[in-house]
């Protein structure tokens, strides 16, 4: 495939989508320069206009896989109308990395610390509380951000497709469904066949094989662009999305503390929490959604998005976005 293949074109398209709603690309240095967090953030106001933008702040945290621009591309337009968005790449995804010493592998709690520092660096002093939303692995991080900063700083929390009660038995069941021996083989596919298996797990209605010439035509006209990421016949896509920082991401999987009773105990959050889940999720099956919502306490409620899998924000972005907006901005009700 030529150098100007489908993956770079899609990447450029998604980045333009973020820029089109006024988000600014930035690399924020933390920990004395030892940590770099790449993000898309709301444009900073001039001093004279510091109070001009009254929209609340919302932080969007992606899951394992492609960078944030790929995972939140269907959310930035409707959400940016009502929120000042901060959309980071988590550590060792996209342009984010760290050389700061940590005790053992980087955990989701360490990721939350970086997100909290990013928010402190980006959000103007005196701004009202922020809200945070995370999907899958990003949901693990969102939970820790809410617990770390507390209700004085974090107002509401959205946890989507994220099994905060994940244990060894859940990993073994995932490996059976994915036909793999290690979780990293499922979540970090290194071959087209592994990619196809992951897509079958992640999507309720994965797209069938599409010839390369059709893909090229689709890119030219940008029609059905939101489905192109689901197609698994391009080695270029696989290499572009899953070849960066592989060893570091393997360490992130090892660093997940969920299920380790010595390192993590799920406790209710004092904030209002929306648990969003796809009805046919095969990464984290739907029965876990009820357990997570119950364990999060009286402030949590569950909403199931029908006919979707592990990625409801992609398979049914309209209903996903409506659920998020109606929860974060409960009056009036929004219909997109």
Give the pLDDT confidence score for residue 54 in this predicted structure: 83
Q: Say if CB 133 and CB 157 are below 8 A apart.
A: yes
Integer-rounded Cα radius of gyration of the chain: 19
Chain center to CA of 2: 30
| Cα 35-40-45 angle, rounded to 5 deg | 105
Give the pLDDT confidence score for residue 333 in this predicted structure: 57
End-to-end CA distance of the chain: 38
Q: Say if CB 214 and CB 257 are below 8 A apart.
A: no
Torsions phi, psi for 309 (to 5 deg): -105, -135
Specify the 3-state DSSP secondary structure of 302: strand
Task: Give the residue from 19, 82, 21 showing the smallest Cα distance to 332.
Answer: 82
Tokens of 135: 């999907």
Residue 139 lies in a domain: yes
Q: CB under 8 Å to 31, separation ≥6 — which residues?
A: 98, 100, 117
Give the pLDDT confidence score for residue 223 in this predicted structure: 34
Give the pLDDT confidence score for residue 230 in this predicted structure: 45
Range of the domain at 127: 13-184+246-328
Residue 279 lies in a domain: yes
Give the pLDDT confidence score for residue 225 in this predicted structure: 39
Give the pLDDT confidence score for residue 193 in this predicted structure: 80
Residue 204 lies in a domain: no
Residue 190 lies in a domain: no
Q: Say if CB 89 and CB 248 are below 8 A apart.
A: no
Q: How many domains does the chain have?
A: 1
Residue 223 lies in a domain: no
Q: Say if CB 85 and CB 17 are below 8 A apart.
A: no
Looking at the DSSP bridge assignments, the partners of residue 38 are 27
Give the pLDDT confidence score for residue 3 in this predicted structure: 41
Residue 234 lies in a domain: no
Longest dimension (CA), the chain: 58
Torsions phi, psi for 11 (to 5 deg): -60, -45
Q: Say if CB 3 and CB 225 are below 8 A apart.
A: no
The string over 215-253, giving b where at least 16 C-beta atoms fall within 10 Å of a residue's C-beta and e elsewhere, is beebbeeeeebebbbbbbbbebbbebbbeebeeebbebb
Please report, in tens digits, the pLDDT of each residue of the chain (336 residues total). Answer: 344 456 777 788 899 999 999 999 999 999 999 999 999 999 987 654 555 678 999 999 999 988 899 999 999 999 999 999 999 999 999 999 999 877 788 999 999 999 999 999 999 887 889 999 999 999 999 999 999 999 999 999 999 999 999 999 999 999 999 999 999 999 888 777 887 788 888 889 865 544 444 334 333 433 333 444 444 344 555 555 666 788 999 999 999 998 888 889 999 999 999 999 999 999 999 999 999 999 999 999 999 999 999 999 999 999 999 999 999 997 655 566
Residue 126 lies in a domain: yes
| Alpha-carbon gap, residue 203 to 207, rounded angstroms | 9
CATH number for the domain harbouring residue 84: 3.40.50.1820
Count of CB atoms situated within 10 Å of the CB of 335: 8
Count of CB atoms situated within 10 Å of the CB of 30: 19
Residue 103 lies in a domain: yes
């Amino acid at each position: 495939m030529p150098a100007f293949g489908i993956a770079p074109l899609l990447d450029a398209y998604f980045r333009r989508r973020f820029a089109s709603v006024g988000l600014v690309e930035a690399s924020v240095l933390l920990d004395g320069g030892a940590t770099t967090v790449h993000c898309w953030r709301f444009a900073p106001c001039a001093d004279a206009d510091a109070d001009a933008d009254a929209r609340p702040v919302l932080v969007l945290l992606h899951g394992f896989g492609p960078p944030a621009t790929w995972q939140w591309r269907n959310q930035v337009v409707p959400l940016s109308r009502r929120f000042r968005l901060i959309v980071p790449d988590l550590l060792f995804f996209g342009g984010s990395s760290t050389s700061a010493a940590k005790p053992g592998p980087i955990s989701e709690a360490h990721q939350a610390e970086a997100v909290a520092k990013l928010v402190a660096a980006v959000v103007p002093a005196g701004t009202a509380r922020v809200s945070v939303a995370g999907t899958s692995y990003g949901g693990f991080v969102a939970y820790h951000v809410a617990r770390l900063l507390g209700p004085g700083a974090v107002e509401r929390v959205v946890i989507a497709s994220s099994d905060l009660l994940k244990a060894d038995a859940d990993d073994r069941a995932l490996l059976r469904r994915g036909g793999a021996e290690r979780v990293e083989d499922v979540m970090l596919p290194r071959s087209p066949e592994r990619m196809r298996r992951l897509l079958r797990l992640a999507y309720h209605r994965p797209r069938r094989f599409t010839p390369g010439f059709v893909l090229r035509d689709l890119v030219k006209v940008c029609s059905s662009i939101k489905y192109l990421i689901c197609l698994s016949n391009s080695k270029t896509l696989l290499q572009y999305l899953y070849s960066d920082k592989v060893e570091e991401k393997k360490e992130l999987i090892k660093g997940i503390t969920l299920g380790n009773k010595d390192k993590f105990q799920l406790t209710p959050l004092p904030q209002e929490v929306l648990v969003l889940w796809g009805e046919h999720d095969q990464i984290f099956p739907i029965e876990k959604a009820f357990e997570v919502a119950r364990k999060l306490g009286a402030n949590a409620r569950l909403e199931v998005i029908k006919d979707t899998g592990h990625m409801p924000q992609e398979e049914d972005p309209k209903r996903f976005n409506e659920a998020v907006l109606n929860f974060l901005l409960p009056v009036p009700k929004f219909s997109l």
